[in-house]
Amino acid sequence: MRATVASVSSRNGLYVGRAWIGRQGWWWAAGLAAVVLVAVTAPAAASEPDPGVTSLKSLFQTAASPKATEECSGGLVYDDGSFENGYSPGNGGGFVMRFDPSSYPAEFDQICLCFTQMLDLDTSLDFDLVVYQADGTGGGPGTVLLESSRSAIGIPEYGSDNPDMVFYEYDMSHLGITVSEPVYVGVNGWDSGGFIFLCADENGPGGQAAYVQEGSASTWEELPSVELPDYQALGIRVDFAGGGPPPEVPEISVVVPAASRGAGAQGSVWSTNLYILNSASQQADITVYWLERDEANPDPVGRDFTVGSDSTLVLDDVILNSFGMQSAGGAFAIASNRAIVVNSAIVNTSGGTEFGQGFEGIPIASAVEAGETTHVVGLKDNSDYRTNVYLVDVSGSGSVVDVALLDEFGSDEATRRYTLGAYEPVLDPVSELGGPSFDDGSLRLSVVSGAVVGGASRINSDSGDPLTLSYWRPAGSGGPPPGECGGDGSYVGFFDFTYEGGLRIDVAGDALTYVEGSVIVFSPEDGGSNCANVFGFGGALDPAVEIAGDGSFETEFAFEYTDWGTLTFVLEGTLDGDTLSGTATVTADPTLPADCSGELNQVPFYAGHTNLVLPAQGLAQAPQVMSPLGRLR
């Protein structure tokens, strides 16, 4: 795509690029290597000439590579420290360049921009400092994260004898902008007569993705362009807060999205009780994390517990008794090596009468993810009721979510974008969305990036009685994400129907503990017409067979059979959510029976989670040929 970058001046002065000087002035034809001045006569009512590229290299016959000052040099830098050119996008336009932080979440601390100017005609620049998510067309700039009016004053002059390019620092630490994916950073709304330039590196290793918005155009076009073929990096740098490796993110499986202790609105007094049931047949190791409201929790405080099979961990007034806080608001995140069921009760004890509301533990797999939308119904905000909106990032690296208030006819009454840090919970009155009071309304939650759990809490203003309003989740949601174990229990299934036979595999934690199956074994070369038999195999696995992090496993059984010698059964498969699949390979040693020829078969198998643990049959102690089939028809 061809980008026509221009510098445009509204005064009776200088156009740079294909430009003119003065009312009766000079035509300045800007080439890439030299400047040629040609005398012309300007027409009395001339239209603006076709804009071209504005680059410093085209205006000076110098090969100097001025060294920029070292601001932001310790941050994310894509230039090589010297700039061979400068670009101007034209009045109202801008430039942005892609930044890929080394770790997430990444919080902006400082942005540095390198400017220069020519002829001392303009020494100050007003512009918008901008940050975009890299979610636009083709991975370009898309969703706006920041538009902030800024200025650069006293920009030094670039001259053929004394090149001068300087970085300007812009503090971002107070804005709390945290990102969890690549972004584009730069300037827009460029307010200059065409004499100020953004520094450009044209001989470094960069090749960093960048875009230009020409003048008042509304679209971004990619660099390098026909006019700027030597582009490598722009004079834009970013310091991100912190440094070093990111904190280890806990493997959280369930979130309780709201919890509180202390005085609430209209005289209410709240405390929270937490209940965690271990539904597995083995002991569970559980960690409960506290997520402080309105702040990122990349390394949350946790408390460890051990819970027996089918037992319930009861944590009364958990915020005080387990975390030592007299007053706090936030959420809980729970990690466990076993399947668990979680619920909570937030209790209002004001007035001598106890009542409250429940917040169920929501599996991470039920979160609303990037590109998905859900709804919450039953909101009220008037003289009789108030409603709070709650959101929690469950991606562990931050989320962006758009929240819209809808009236009962589906019209948008108000919208607000929330940018959440790692495991950050928020709880805001619905009135903060900016809409009017209403008798009946709904929320629409649209996740732009990350993953979010959300909903609302409606409270009767007279009694203080609350009601939890959960977001809609499709039937069947809440299972484990792909690649994670579907939980303890027996997985029951079959070998490919061509061969028949059944299969059972028991899982406890992240390991296989028992395998039992029957499969037809024959030589594929004769189609089983001479040597097909059904064999049983399997038994308890001691030690248990570990399931790898990607869900894969392999186990082997060897049994001795009359007339067949030793048959070895190797099962290789993958546990993916609630589904188990793979291949069984059978080999014979030392030889096959005389009526068999070639290799034995490989058999696909499939099994599903039952939420049961079936009794062991002890098949490993009595291997046998279960039934001879003879000739297959």
310-322 pLDDT per residue, tens: 899 999 999 999 9
Query: Tens digits of per-residue pLDDT, 97-114?
Result: 999 888 888 889 889 999
What's the distance, CA 292 to chain centroid?
A: 21
3-state secondary structure 329-356: EEEEEEEECCCEEEEEEEEECHHHCCEE
What is the reported pLDDT for 217? Answer: 67
Domains annotated on the chain, with CATH: 85-240 (2.60.120), 254-363 (2.60.290.11), 367-470 (2.60.290.11), 489-630 (no CATH)
Lowest mean pLDDT across 18-27, 265-274, 323-332: 18-27
- Output the CA torsion sign for 585, 587, 593, 597: positive
Confidence of residue 473 (pLDDT cuts 50, 70, 90): low
Query: Tens digits of per-residue pLDDT, 6-26?
Result: 322 222 222 222 222 222 222
Considering only residues 154 and 45, tell me which one the structure prediction assigns the higher pLDDT: 154
CB 214 within 8 A of CB 5: yes
HSE-up of 212 (CA within 13 Å, CB side)?
27
What is the reported pLDDT for 499? Answer: 46
Lowest mean pLDDT across 52-66, 154-168, 584-598: 52-66
- Output the CA torsion sign for 474, 477, 478, 482: negative
Confidence of residue 240 (pLDDT cuts 50, 70, 90): confident
What is the reported pLDDT for 333? Answer: 95
What is the reported pLDDT for 420? Answer: 93
d(CA 483, CA 549): 8
Residues above pLDDT 70, as percent of the chain:
71
Confidence of residue 118 (pLDDT cuts 50, 70, 90): confident
Residue found under tokens 């009794």:
615
Q: Determine the average pLDDT of the residues in 464-493.
A: 62
Residues above pLDDT 90, as percent of the chain:
28
Phi and psi of 613, rounded to 5°?
-120, 110
Confidence of residue 306 (pLDDT cuts 50, 70, 90): confident
Q: Please provide the average confidence, as pLDDT, over all residues in the chain.
A: 74
The residue type found at 456 is A
Whole-structure pTM value? 0.43
Lowest mean pLDDT across 27-31, 179-183, 300-304, 534-538: 27-31
What is the reported pLDDT for 501? Answer: 61
CB 129 within 8 A of CB 150: yes
What is the reported pLDDT for 317? Answer: 93
Write down the number of H helices and E strands in the chain: 1, 43
